[in-house]
């Protein structure tokens, strides 16, 4: 197994671990446990950022920039879908009232 594959796998494990710590932190009812999980979350996020930086240095993690136009087009589509959904909900509510 080469270094790129190992780093890729390590990054995936770190990302999964972050998710576990986030949920644990949010769901914890004990302040001491919550603080401990948050500390580990912060540490793991730092490790994830360091790993990501190392991978990009070696061109092992492809980052592509998206043009502003593409972002705006996507936003417009999402806003249109949201508007359509709200209209459908409004029509359904009117039908249920009658």
How do the domains of the chain map onto residue ranges? 1-63, 65-98
Interval 10-45: pLDDT, tens: 999 999 999 999 999 999 999 999 999 999 999 999
Is 82 in contact with 59 (CB distance < 8 Å)? no
- Non-local (6+) Cβ contacts of 44 within 8 A are 14, 17, 18, 21
- For the full predicted model, state whether its pTM sits above 0.85: no
Cβ atoms of 82 and 76 closer than 8 Å: no
d(CA 84, CA 58): 45
Kindly report, residue by residue over 66-97, the tens digit of the pLDDT: 899 999 999 999 999 888 877 776 666 666 66
């Amino acid at each position: 197994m080469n270094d790129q594959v190992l780093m890729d796998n390590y990054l995936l494990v770190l990302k999964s671990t972050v998710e576990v710590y986030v949920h644990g932190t949010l769901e914890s009812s004990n302040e001491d446990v919550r603080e401990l999980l948050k500390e580990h979350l912060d540490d793991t996020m730092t490790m994830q950022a360091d790993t990501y930086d190392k991978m990009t240095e070696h061109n092992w993690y492809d980052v592509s920039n998206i043009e502003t136009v593409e972002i705006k087009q996507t936003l417009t589509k999402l806003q249109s879908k949201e508007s359509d959904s709200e209209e459908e909900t409004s029509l359904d509510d009117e039908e249920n009232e009658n």
